[in-house]
Structure 1
Amino acid sequence: MTTVSRFYPIGTPGTPWGEQERQQWRTQIEKKRDYHTEVVSKIQALSDQFDIEQYGEISYHPERLPLFCLKSKDWSADKPVVLITGGVHGYETSGVHGALLFLETEAQRYTQHFNLLVAPCVSPWGYEIINRWNALALDPNRSFYPNSPAQESANLIALVASIAETILVHFDLHETTDSDEQEFRPALAARDGLDFEPGSIPDGFYTVGDSAKPVPEFQKAVIDSVRKVTHIAPADENNQIIGSDVVQEGVINYAMKELGLCGGVSDCQYGTTTEVYPDSPKVSADECNRAQVAAIIGGLDYVLSKLD
């Protein structure tokens, strides 16, 4: 586990950021990787297997980044929908590439049972700069509510609202990284004019369920599937993970809708937010991607057992 205390260099301690501080933060941002090369090309390569639709775009001048989703070709009103979202936090790489790997390798065996709707990179600007926030210094994963100021969240909300069929399952694919503690939590405290309170990063995979409908057996199926690929995060000395009580091995719960989280974007019966730990010396990038795939498989196999 990593524990770090760090002063953030932008803003005045105790004073929330204004537009000047946000602009100062933006001037430090540099593009580190290319969304079109690394993500859009992989999406387009799946056009023979899935219908590809542009459901919006991110328009931070001068960048214009299209948002794509992939749908089952045999979409049917008689089948429930499985929603898979990745890259809500653009820097969480295996969320994006885990969703694409699932489509490439495993998805077809589920299409007879489910309509698949996959938005593999909800925050392409964040993907390119490897950051948690969007260009307004907003966290898209705290912005899933009506009239959202985050383009990333608003576009996905509109996409989900356009689906007439029942969304039964939602996998929101995330990572918890050392940079959360080293960079993003200090930045959040500075932005909001608060004191930064150091925490710790769990070494291993865990999931976040919805406290309003926790479906523990579904979460267990996800954890049991992932442990075949990577290790599960242990609870800390307070029986917590990132400050939340562990309700079963590798599982904590959040109030998804109340907190404006992507996991609350639909009224699904079965939902989980996955959290891979890519900075562990015990895993590779490929294992992180495969852990995301394992999470989806474990959850879908469980749901299928309940539909029989």
Structure 2
Amino acid sequence: MTEVQAKELLQKYLNKQASPQEQKKVEAWYAKLNQENIELAADRKVAIGEQMLVHLQAAMRQNPKHGKVFKLQPFIRIAAAVLIIITLGIGIWKLNTPMKLENQVTVVTGSTERKNITLSDGSVVLLSPSSKLCYPKAFASNNRQIALTEGEAFFEIAHQEKRPFMVHTASGVDIRVLGTSFKVKSYQASKHVEVAVITGKVAVSKKNVNLGMLIKDEFLIYDKTVGRADIGKTKAMAFIELAFDGASLDQIINKLQYVYSIKISLSDSALSKLKSTAVFNSRQSPEEILDIICSLHHLKFNASKNHKTFNIYR
């Protein structure tokens, strides 16, 4: 059944023109609505309420025939459900219909596999082993949303102030950012969801209820069993892997600058094209990583007194 056919059936039900079989189908959708416990934003509820009021006032102005008065209340309940269906756009009938994901990409990693994914906005995701990520080939014009349905990933989000980035998890915990780097750990078999911020700031919520605002070097652990979130300063779990597979020196520098909030310059722009393959951990200092990278290409580097500015040279 197409969406158009579904809406036509719903309209027939409202007009009391549906056959007994069609009535049962609509009422089954309504029952499904109750089971799914769909949540709506406040502005959507207001719009639905206004539409319901118009339809219910019209229904009550009609003079019900004798013997039909007691059927008005269930009819109103179904009418309300139908209005919610139409307002949601896709409709309850799609709850029993496989979702079409022509514009979606799903990436799954094996038990020892890691993947580096670049999204359409330039954001980068380092997907850990035994993980699953779903994202659109191209983001919408007003938002960026992806889903980490299983596992662990490090996110380096391209800053776009007018187009927020949202990471959804299978547990219902959502992470909203504008531009930052952070780690999310959300295994379905675990009772905890972990979010650790490396740079920037993120907001963590569940069902539109704020769980906490995290800044650099803070982490949040959400207990799915008791529904409680605890926030603390970064500990071992927040250190992330920095993997480079044939990356240019320019790409490595950009990532190190982002993760450590430092500035790295090259004495010769030609050095930016040098390639490296290596794996580091953010537990390591930037000096230690630069020392290894430079030794691979027989380069040198120096650092400022506050260790916030570095220069690489031959």
Give TM-score scaled by structure 2 length.
0.28
Looking at both structures, which has the greater relative contact order when contacts are Cα pairs under 8 Å and sequence separation is at least 6?
1
More strand by share: 2
Give TM-score scaled by structure 1 length.
0.28
